[in-house]
Each structure stands twice: as structure tokens, then as C-alpha cells.
Amino acid sequence: MKSWIYYDRIANKYDTQYDNYYWMLFNEITKKLVEKYIKEEYHILDLGAGTGYWTYWLSERVESVYALEPSEKMLEICKDKTKNFKNIKYIKALAEDMPFDDESFDIINAQGDVLSYVEDLDKVLLEIKRVLKNDGILIASVDSFYSFMSQIISQGDFLALNYLYDKKKANIGSEDGIFTSRAFSAEDIEEICKKYGFEKIELAGKVICDDCDENIIEKNFDQLLNNELKICHDPYFIGEAEHIHFVIRKK
């Protein structure tokens, strides 16, 4: 199944899946990692905008946001959620074929593991480089290879483990469908920089208290947030993280 078809199916319940303290903590960590790169005069592409969480947040902080999303139903929700903003443009398109002029954006924001879910990563990265301004940056979150490996080993699914090692991919989803996610390591980010002409600015692991229940996270929210920001750049935690956050600059 194509990832955007899956998200079309779950669009109406997507936001409720993340309405808990675990994901609140995750998003607050992401904001702290992203906001230091944002300037008021920037034009930002929110790549894989989904239902508009980051589109909304970004539009309060910059001159313009372009929300690009291949799922029609997700984009409809995004439009409704951000309808009071006048600095947003909505585009239904694939990341592989961006309908923008060269050097259009100061920042491309690709949260929610967009680069893990695209069909043709090579084409997407070439498009990203094309539409970024000189010295523009890509800020992204991707699924972690070592996190997938740990989960698959714990499940004893050796066919899936072989697939992960061979293709660096894993099947994910729910009762609504299954699609393929591409897994990344820190070494993969370095390779992307070398191959496509980017400079690595930041690499972090978003490690979220996997053994904590909702009550513990709620009670210790501020402490967990502050501790997370202290450890997330440590190479050990980047390897252990469920998601890898990275920032790279177009040379």
C-alpha cells in the first residue's frame, strides 16, 4: 500500500492517535530542536504536512508556509485546522514532484518521518535540494534503523529482520493497512550529505521514556523534557532513539 493511501484511510482519526502525553512530550522536544533555526522573514515548505500540526505552528512564526501533502483527506483537515491563517498555501502533490521554482524556500520541514515513507528517496532529495535556497536547510525526522531492529528482534520475526538488513526497510501500519518505512542510521545521514551536497548541522535522537506510562510522563513532564534535551545529542542515544532528528544545509 502507498503510504498516502494509508493516511487517507486514517485521516479522520489520525490526530486522536497522538493525543496523549507521550506525543505531547515528543512534539515539545521537536519544537525546541526546530525553533532555533526559524526567522520571521522565512518562507517554509512543510513537506508532508498531514493534518497541519506543524503547518499551524510554523505559520505563527514565519512569513509564509506552503503545506504539501499527497493525501487529499489529510490536506482537507489541514486546511480546516489552519483556515484562520492568511500566510499558508496548500498543495496536493507528491514529494517526488514538487510544483515550485528553484530556490524557493529558506527551510524545508519534514516531520512525521516523511522521508521514511516516500517512494523514491533519491528523487525527493534531489527535489529538496532544487527548491531550497542557497544555504537553505532541511529539518527532518526519520525512523531509526536500530530502533526497528530492536523491535523486530524482540518479536522474534527473523524474516522481517532479514528484510530490514537487506533493504533497510520495515513494514508498519495497523488494521487499516500496511506500508513500508525506510529506516535510517546516523551513518545514512552522513552519506546523504556526501551524495547530495549538504552540510550536516545537527543530529539528535528523540528518545522518549519508552517504559513510562501516561501518568508518569504527565507528572514529570518538565523534567523529562529538560533531560531529553540534554541527552538527545549523545551518539549512544541517537542509536537507541525511535526517531532520528537531523538538520542539513544546502551547500
Residue of 54, 52, 92, 53 whose CA lies nearest to 70:
92
pLDDT in tens, 154-192: 999 999 999 999 999 999 999 999 999 999 999 999 999
Rg (CA), the chain: 17
CB atoms closer than 10 angstroms to residue 23: 14
Residue of 243, 127, 139 whose CA lies nearest to 196:
127
pLDDT in tens, 212-235: 778 888 888 888 888 777 778 888
Residue of 142, 112, 113, 146 whose CA lies nearest to 240:
146
Domain membership of residue 93 as a residue range = 3-250
Residue 219 has what pLDDT? 87
Q: What is the CATH number of the domain that holds 10?
A: 3.40.50.150
In the chain, the DSSP E strands lie at: 43-47, 64-68, 88-91, 105-110, 132-143, 169-174, 177-182, 198-206, 243-250
73 burial via Cβ count (<10 Å: 0-12, 13-18, 19+): middle
pTM, to two decimals? 0.95
Count of domains observed in the chain:
1
Residue 145 has what pLDDT? 95
CB atoms closer than 10 angstroms to residue 13: 9
Beta bridge pairs of residue 68: 47, 91
CA distance 49 to 224: 27
pLDDT in tens, 27-45: 999 999 999 999 999 999 9
Answer yes or no: are the C-beta atoms of 8 and 74 closer than 8 Å: yes
